[in-house]
Chains A and B, each alone.
Chain A
Amino acid sequence: MATTQEIQEELTPTGTLDVEKYRSLRQDVWRQFRRHKGAVIGLFILGVIVLGSVVGPFVYPLDPFDIDTKVANQGPSIDHPMGTDNLGRDVLARVLIGGRISLAVGLAAMMVELIIGTTTGVLSGFFRRLDGPLMRLADLFLALPILPLLLVVIMLFREPLKEALGANLGIFVLVVFIIGVTSWMTTARIVRGEVLAIKQEEFVLAAQSIGSRRRNVVLRHIVPNVLSPVMVAAALSVGAAILTESALSFLGLGFPADFPTWGRLLFDAKDRLQLTPMRVLLPGVMISLTVISVNFIGDGLRDALDPKGRSR
């Protein structure tokens, strides 16, 4: 037990504060996160992959779109470390540039999903009247045959969006939007549960009783408190979005052929499995490694953000 004097020393600005002993929440979370081996390794691998796809195409000398049919379907060599595809394009260069698009789709779809999911979750947790309809809507979306619907939507809206926004941007917006719109339900449910619990806390009552506007109560007091489950959901949904994008591209209904994403590269390579196995292996391993890392990071975050586990 601290004596009265000690407490006073801590409280007065002149008293020396033991910096070692007091950690902010962020430091605490980071300390706990570092103990999760899988999460740290995941963070490292993801860092390498992100660096490789962002910086890689600038550093790597070969052009991913350079067609040279004289060197088509080659195995790994010094000129082409991972071999070439059926048009003689360098596989490694294509995988590096493809990573940019796959990662960008993952991040953008995660943002769309979080905005929809958090808004719905907060609204249905805070306003009782909206709760029923919004949660029924979530149930309905959970029962939808998502993949068939995604395929149908892409089939129907690809051409008009291409005309409106240009070939690449059009399909990017479409893929990001539909992945976001069909995957917000889990986040919404988690956020709703948290909001329902936090709404009963005294600090919310205090904020209301000093006359805060409802909007401020929600934005300043409730939303910051549900951020940790939202962060975990965000990490996991990046992985899910990358998987969905690759699945769509793999079925031939994602990005166009001249627009290499990892899923598209797999789709193009799958019929020449025996001829150039590297073309299947490299993008497949990249998708898998990215999603594994993201899932481990999500797992580590969940452990680190859970105050019950922190004493461990």
Chain B
Amino acid sequence: MAIPTLLAISLIVFAILDLAPGDPTANLPLTLPLEVREKIRAALGLNDPFLVAWLKWLRLMMINEPLHFIEKIFGACFGDCESRARIISWSSRAPAVDIIIQRLPQTLWVLGLALFFGILIAIPIGVISAYRQYSWFDNAGTFVSIIGFSVPTFFTGLLAIVVFSVWLGWFPSFYDTRLVVNSWDTFLLQVKQMIMPVAVLSLFNAAALTRFTRASVLDNLNEDYVRTARSKGLGERKVILTHVLRNSLIPVVTLIALQIPGIFGGAIITEQIFRINGLGHLLIAAIGQSDVPMVQTLTFIFAVLIVLFNLLADVTYGFLDPRIRYD
């Protein structure tokens, strides 16, 4: 399922960019002779029919780039490793994938930590809300979580900057990209500058997750197996934590998987607010410079990441529910 999805996504990304009006050679000087301009167009592959251009790009993306990546790790050389074509960014003249690999860790750190803390906050609150349905805790939790996913991250981010870095001066207002973590002090600085972006994004993730968890635990609490577990004398803690929670998490994992594109969107916005030099930042810059190969590659990488996270969710299923096994 993953590979056809990726193929379809790459086709869509490619088609949007190909159908779009506008000419990448339009910015070249007008004094350039026509035949030179034509040669540049041919070199960029702009004269190829749509399908050929797509297949060429697909070969670059799916074969050449992974091969180069493997070579870099093992220091080996397969075949024509010196002359193999790569996807070159128009604005920086460097291979697009190299720049992306430089920027990837920042995005993954923010995203991963935000998801991790989001889940860590959401599940206990969701379980307690459901267990004590209509109590003050539940009502407060519901209220806060509706507010949490209604208030956009770009507003909470700006508010956090005003309150915590301008008024209180606790955290730096933007992310220092030159910081190298090589000692305890720089590590503390790194933690300090990560706190606000991660907090903003994880609260946003936690809000929706709390609602899902609550609904799912509520569905399970009235099941027969819960009565059975209680009647055989299990403690309440054991009933909730092992029986109910494990069953309730199955639909929650599906919903997390469905949220992942949205979480990536939130990460792009958060990177923009706190000026983190991750993939989102790179994408906005590339769009600003009409750097088509970079935009194509980045959008495709985002799709790959989303599909990977979805696969992760599928694997988690098998772990949560022994009835589901992949052969």
Within A100-142, the residues touching B (CB, 8 Å) are 139-140, 142
State which of B8, B12, B261, B284 has its C-beta within 8 Å of the C-beta of A142: B261
Q: How far is the CA of A277 from the CA of B158 in the complex (A)?
A: 10
Question: If the complex has contacts A142-B258, A273-B158, are A292 and B303 also in contact, measured as CB distance less than 8 A?
Answer: no
Q: Residues of B contacting A296 with CB < 8 Å?
A: 146
What are the residues of chain A within 8 A of B264 when measuring CB–CB?
A: 145, 147-148
B293 to chain A, nearest CB (A): 13
Cβ contact within 8 Å between A284 and B162: no
Q: Are A140 and B9 in contact (CB under 8 A)?
A: yes
* Chain A residues in 8 Å Cβ range of B143: 38
Cβ contacts under 8 Å, B290 to chain A: 155
Instruction: Let me know if B303 and A273 touch, CB within 8 A.
Output: no
User: In whole angstroms, what is the CA distance A263 to B133 when docked?
Assistant: 37
Chain B window 255-272, contacts with chain A (Cβ cutoff 8 Å), 1 for yes, 0 for no: 000100110110011001
Residues of A within 8 A of B152 (CB): 243, 246-247, 250, 284, 287-288, 291
Cross-chain contact A247 with B151 (CB below 8 angstroms): no
CB-CB contacts of B1-36 with A at 8 A, as 1s and 0s?
000010011001100110011100000000000000
Asked if A83 lies at the interface with its beta carbon under 8 angstroms from chain B, I say no
Contacts of B295 in A (CB 8 A): 152, 155
Bound Cα distance from A157 to B290, whole angstroms: 12
CB distance from A103 to the nearest CB of B (A): 15
Residues of A within 8 A of B272 (CB): 250-251
Flag if A153 contacts B261 (CB, 8 Å): no
| Docked complex Cα distance between A252 and B268 (Å) | 13
In the complex with contacts A147-B265, A247-B152, A251-B269, A299-B20 CB distance below 8 A: no
> Do B150 and A292 have beta carbons less than 8 Å apart?
yes
Known: A239-B150, A253-B287, A292-B150. A149 touches B13 (CB 8 A): yes
* Known contacts A146-B261, A148-B298, A266 near B147 by CB under 8 Å: no
* A148 close to B268 (CB less than 8 A): yes
Q: Please name the residue on chain B nearest to A153 by beta carbon.
A: B16
Q: Give the chain A neighbours of B268 by CB distance below 8 A.
A: 147-148, 251
A280 at the interface (CB under 8 A from B): yes
Find the A residue at minimum CB distance from B8. A140
Does chain A have a CB within 8 A of B302?
yes
Q: Is the CB of A143 within 8 A of B5?
A: yes
Interface presence of A4 (CB below 8 A): no
Q: Which residue of B lies closest to A246 (CB)?
A: B152
Interface size on A, as a range, is 35 or more
Indicate if the CB atoms of B261 and A156 lie closer than 8 Å.
Answer: no
A205 within 8 A of B: no
CA distance A266 to B158 in the complex (A): 9
A295–B207 alpha-carbon span in the complex (Å): 13
**A151 on the B face (CB < 8 A):** yes
Is B114 in the interface zone, CB < 8 Å from A?
A: no
B269 in contact with A250 (CB, 8 Å): yes
Instruction: Judge whether B155 and A149 touch: CB under 8 Å.
Output: no
Q: Does A9 sit within 8 A of B, measured CB to CB?
A: no
Is the pair A156, B21 in contact by a Cβ cutoff of 8 Å?
A: yes
Task: State how many angstroms separate the Cβ of B152 from the closest Cβ of chain A.
Answer: 5
Evaluate contact between B155 and A288: CB separation under 8 angstroms: yes
Closest A residue, CB atoms, query B151: A288
Q: Mark A260-289, 1 if CB is under 8 A from B, else 0.
A: 000100100010011001001000100110
Residues of chain A contacted by B22 (CB below 8 angstroms): 156, 159
Q: Which residues of B contact A291 (CB under 8 A)?
A: 150-152
A38 CA to B150 CA in the complex, in Å? 14
Give Cα A155 to B296, complex, Å: 13
In the complex, A81 has a CB within 8 A of chain B:
no
A156 proximity list for chain B (CB < 8 A): 16-17, 20-22
Is A143's CB under 8 angstroms from B310's CB?
Answer: yes
Task: Check B117 for interface membership: any CB of A closer than 8 A.
Answer: no
Known A147-B268, A247-B265, A295-B150; judge A284-B306 contact (CB<8 A): no
Q: Is residue B161 contacting chain A, with contact meaning CB distance below 8 A? A: yes
Question: With a CB–CB cut-off of 8 A, which chain B residues contact A247?
Answer: 152, 154, 265, 269
Chain B, Cβ-Cβ closest to A189: B258
- CB of B299 within 8 A of CB of A148, answer yes
- A270 and B146 form a contact (CB under 8 A): no
Q: What are 12 A-B interface contacts by the 8 Å CB criterion? A: A143-B5, A146-B261, A148-B299, A149-B16, A157-B21, A159-B21, A251-B272, A252-B284, A266-B154, A266-B158, A273-B166, A288-B151
Q: B residues touching A (Cβ–Cβ < 8 Å)?
A: 5, 8-9, 12-13, 16-17, 20-22, 143, 146-147, 149-152, 154-155, 158-159, 161-162, 166, 258, 261-262, 264-265, 268-269, 272-273, 283-284, 287, 290, 295, 298-299, 302-303, 306-307, 310
18 further A-B pairs in the complex, CB-CB below 8 A; given A142-B261, A146-B262, A292-B147: A38-B146, A140-B5, A140-B8, A143-B303, A144-B9, A146-B265, A147-B261, A148-B283, A149-B13, A151-B287, A152-B13, A155-B290, A157-B20, A160-B21, A247-B152, A250-B269, A263-B154, A273-B161
